[in-house]
Every structure is written in structure tokens, then in C-alpha cells.
A and B are shown apart, each in its own frame.
Chain A
Amino acid sequence: MNFSDQDKKGWRLLGLPFIFSVLLLAVPLATMFALSFWTQDYLVLKKTFTLANYREAWFEPVFQTLFTRSLLISFTVTVFTIIFAFPVAYFISFYGGKRKALWLFLITIPFWTSYLLRMFLWKVILGYNGVLNSFLEWIGAITEPLTFLLYNSNAVVLALVHGWAPFAILPIFVSLEKIDRSLLEASNDLGDTAFKQFFRIILPLSMPGVVGAVLIIFIPTIGDYITPKLVGGPEGLMIANMIQVQFSKANNAPLAAALSVTSLLIVGSISILFVLLNKKHMRNY
């Protein structure tokens, strides 16, 4: 094989960052994959091949519940965030005028403030003696603190929707910006109602952004550790919390690895399936 001048020059620059990524990403991923087939006896690793970890990860009811719940929470968060984000992106793109950049800036600011603190604030807001309950009691709307607010899956969903909304707005906004406005004029002239116009032109043409937003939200939220730990309570814990417990307190790193690989498989296959299903919308991308 002959390497051209371009090949050599390109790789001379890319070499270092590539090796860095191999050492800190590929090697660790491979190690975790290998680890998931081993067993751990207290602190000693036994490096004989076994599928026992996967058997446990896939068939133990505890883990099945956690996987299902994580998927459900992630799914709900994604749906709500998109429903929430779409009108906002639509407004900025179609009615933003000269202040589009300012609107976008306003929306992205909260994203750059501490995620940890934002999630923690939801705990402060929703708690038994929290901000919301004390406020409602103060104005006389309730006499007893509401208990259904914190420590359940709904609290996790609410906090996550709040945390991830900016991520959904940006890609949807970008694809709305790309829509040729003359198409809308044409459909107006030809007598489409606003409703029809939305479903026949705007929504299909903004699908690449929606698909992007779905992936950007769905993939990380399913592995979120902070939010369920802070506001989920025992009924709202997700798979990431279990991975952490297995890794540290339970001293069962191989099982944690098997759970991690399984999560990656689930997230990966759902994402790929989702992209394939939306392939017809992605053609001009």
C-alpha cells in the first residue's frame, strides 16, 4: 500500500490525539468488555471466561426492573423535551427576527451552569419542607405538604426535561433554519391551512433536527447518575446507580461491567433502529 503525501501529513498531526483516544477510550472499553466475562471473589479477579455476569444482568428481576425503568424514564424525558422544545425552536427560527442569536444565547446559558447544582435545586424545590411546599403553604393553597413531589420517577423526569431542553432546541432550530421559506409561501398560496402546512412541510423537513435531538437526549439520560440519586428516591433509581453500587460497595466490578455493556447494547441498538426508521427524512443531510 502506498501512502500519499497527504496521508503522511494528515497522520503526523492526527497521530498523537488518535493514540491518546486509543489508550484512554478503546483500551478501557475493551478492558471493560473483557472484565464483563470474568468474576471477582472479594478483591481477587478470576480471569476464566464465564457468561454468569450476563446471565445475572439480563435475568435477575432487580436488574430487569432497573433497565425497564431507565428506558421508560429516558423515553418519557425525550418525548416531553421534544414537545417542549419544538415550539421554542420554531419561534426563534420563524419569529426571532434579528435577535435569533440573543434568544439562543438566553436558552443555552442555563446549560453551562453546574448540572449538579441544577439537579440538586430540584430536590430543594420539591422536598417535603422544600421551596414549593413552603411557598404553597405560605400563600394558603395547601395545609399539608404534598408528598408526591419528590423521590419518584416523575421527579426524575421533570428534572431531566429541565436539564436537557436546551440540547433539543439547538438541533431543531438548525433544521428549521434550513427550510426554504418559499415552500411555505407556495403552500399558503395553494390554500394549505396552518395546521396542514405544519404537518406536510415544516415537521417532515425538520425531522433531521428532531432525530438529532432525540439521540442527544436519549443516549446520555439513560446513563444519568446524579438526577435519580438526588430526586429519585428508592423508586426512581436508574441503571447508572446500580452500576456504581456494583463497582464500589458491592465489590463486583465484573457485574458492573456486564451491566455497562448491556446498557451500551440497548442504547446503541435503539439508536441505530431509530435512525434507520427515520432514514427517509435524513436523505438531504
Chain B
Amino acid sequence: MKQSSKYFKVCIVIFLIFLYAPALLLPIFSFNDSQVIAFPLSGFSTVWFEKLLYEDTLHDALRNSLLVAVSSSILATALGTLVARASSRYKFFGQRASVTFILVPLILPEIILGVCLLTVLIQLGLNLNLWTVVLGHTLLITPFSTLIMVSAFNNLDISLEEASLDLGMSSVQTFRLIILPMVSPGLISSLLIGFVISLDEFIIAFFLTGVEPTLPVYIWAQFRFPAKLPSTMALGTILLIVSLILVSLFEYFRRRIELYNQYTMELDQK
């Protein structure tokens, strides 16, 4: 048994190296003092990061992306919370079918979502702008928010809610003062994940954006210019660090939900 454990450990280490190796090239080459991305390395330099400071189009793209990511993660979290609350609190007609339908974007290839939405927008004669991207991203993120919020609502003790109503609070007060604080780790992780997904999403943004590119659409355009490669690597390094921070935060809040669920389960067993 011990022998095979060692064998598997080697397996997983090789796997992790394969998983991380490409990403590690980002910091290596963004600090490399050379126009070409190749070995041997020629020296340490921060010039590629400095260049990013003067790219106005990049700053605009970043602003666009932040606007889209913040708006769509808030919208999706609101919608996801409604779905999760409805499906975990009530048993109603058409529940399974309608909730499944809302989760469909999880399994649809993004290119199909992009083509579909663009078709409708063109048919309606609407202009493409950042808000059309927000709509597309909200549609894409809502299933993720729903799943996260379902797990946050799952072990919410109904008796707390009933107690609050019995003691004379209105249902709005109960929601605001009792339910909302208890699912707040879920809300925060849903917002974080939504933000990361939107910030990273390319296809839908590529189809639905007008003249204002989001960050991934901007990056895509940079790929065509070999001279811009090192700066793009530097930008990638920054994005890598930002998403690492966001995902670690997400993991922290997800643990809080799990710990809370375990805690309530233990209480139930007593």
C-alpha cells in the first residue's frame, strides 16, 4: 500500500507541473529583457510593465471590463439568489424544469450563446455596447451564482425564520436581518466568481461588444503584434496575480459556508 502511495504522489506532482508550467512562463518572460519570448533569458527588466502604464487603449479596456464584471456579477448574484431561495424554500409547480432551464448556459458552448444573442440583437436593430456584454455575461454567470447560493441556502434553518416572523418582524425585515447575513458568505463568493468569470470571458464579449473592447478582447487583438508580446505577458502576470487573490478569497468564503453547514448539521443531530 505504501509503495503505491508513493507512485501516486509522483503522478500528481508531474500532473501539477504540467498544470502550472505554462502559467509560470508569464512571470519569467515578463521580467525578461528581450523582445522575443525564447530561451536563453537575457536579463532582468521591468520595462514591459512600465510600457503598460502608457497604453491608453489598455486602460480603457480595463475600465470597460471592470464595469462589465461588476455589473454582471451583481445582476447574476441577484438573479441566482432569487432562484436559489425559491427552489430551496418552496416546492412549487414546474420547479425542476424551470430551474434546470436557468442552468442551461452551463452546458451550452459559448459560441452558440454568442451567436444566438447577436442574432437577436441584430434582428431587434439594437446597438452593440458594453450593456449588451453585461446582459450576455449575466446570462452566463447566473447558473454559477445559483449553484453557489443553493448551497448557501441549503442548510438555512427554517425555524429561525419562523421565530423571527412569530416575534413580529415583517418578512422584509426577516430577509434583511436574518436570512441575508446568514447567506452572506455565499453572496460574496458568488460575486467573486462572477467577477472572475466575466473578467476572463472572451467569446461572448467578442461577439457582443461594439467599439469598446473588454480586456480579453483587447488582449486578443494584441496577439497579432509580435512586438507587443512581452507587454502582453506582463499584463498576463498581473491578471494571474489578481485572479489568484480573488480565487483565494472565494475559497475562504466557500469554506465558511461549508463549516456553517457542518455546524448546523451537527446541531441537528444533537
Contacts and interface: CB of A to CB of B under 8 A. Distances in A.
Interface in A34-75: 35
Contacts of B38: 129-131, 133-135
A28 B243 contact: no
Nearest to A256: B115
A225 B111 contact: yes
Most buried by B among A20, A101, A108: A20
A98 interface: no
A28 B90 contact: no
Interface string B25-67: 1100100000011111000000000000000000000000000
A239 B264 CA distance: 49
Contact of B139 (A24, A32, A88): A24
B19 A31 contact: no
Chain B: interface residue count, which band? 35 or more
Contacts of A247: 115, 118
Interface stretch (A115-123, A174-182, A202-210): A115-123
A110 B92 contact: no
Contacts of A79: none
A247 B118 CA distance: 10
Interface stretch (B96-104, B161-169, B180-188): B96-104
Interface string A134-172: 110010000000000000000000000010011000000
Nearest to B196: A112
A130 B101 CA distance: 44
A219 interface: yes
Contact of A31 (B22, B123, B142, B196): B123
Nearest to B255: A101
A24 B82 CA distance: 17
B120 A31 contact: yes
A247 B216 CA distance: 20
Contacts of A256: 115
Contacts of A162: 18-19, 22
Contact of A121 (B11, B26, B87): B26
Given A24-B135, A121-B22, A226-B202, A95 B244 contact: no
Contacts of A101: 255
Given A14-B86, A116-B200, A131-B25, 13 more contacts: A13-B83, A17-B80, A18-B102, A87-B15, A107-B16, A114-B240, A116-B216, A117-B26, A124-B233, A130-B37, A162-B18, A253-B122, A260-B111
Interface of B: 4-5, 8-9, 11-12, 15-16, 18-20, 22-23, 25-26, 29, 36-40, 79-80, 82-83, 85-87, 89-93, 95, 98-99, 101-102, 104-105, 107-113, 115-120, 122-123, 135-136, 138-139, 142, 196, 200, 202-203, 216, 219-220, 223, 229, 232-233, 236, 239-240, 243-244, 246-247, 251, 255
Interface of A: 3-4, 6-11, 13-14, 16-18, 20-21, 24-29, 31-32, 35, 84, 87-88, 90-92, 94-95, 101, 103, 105-110, 112-118, 120-125, 129-131, 133-135, 138, 162, 165-166, 194, 215, 219-220, 222-226, 230, 240, 243-244, 247, 253, 256-257, 260, 263-264, 267
21 contacts: A9-B89, A13-B90, A14-B86, A14-B92, A17-B80, A17-B142, A20-B138, A20-B139, A25-B105, A88-B12, A90-B8, A106-B16, A117-B26, A118-B22, A120-B219, A121-B25, A134-B40, A165-B19, A223-B110, A244-B111, A260-B111
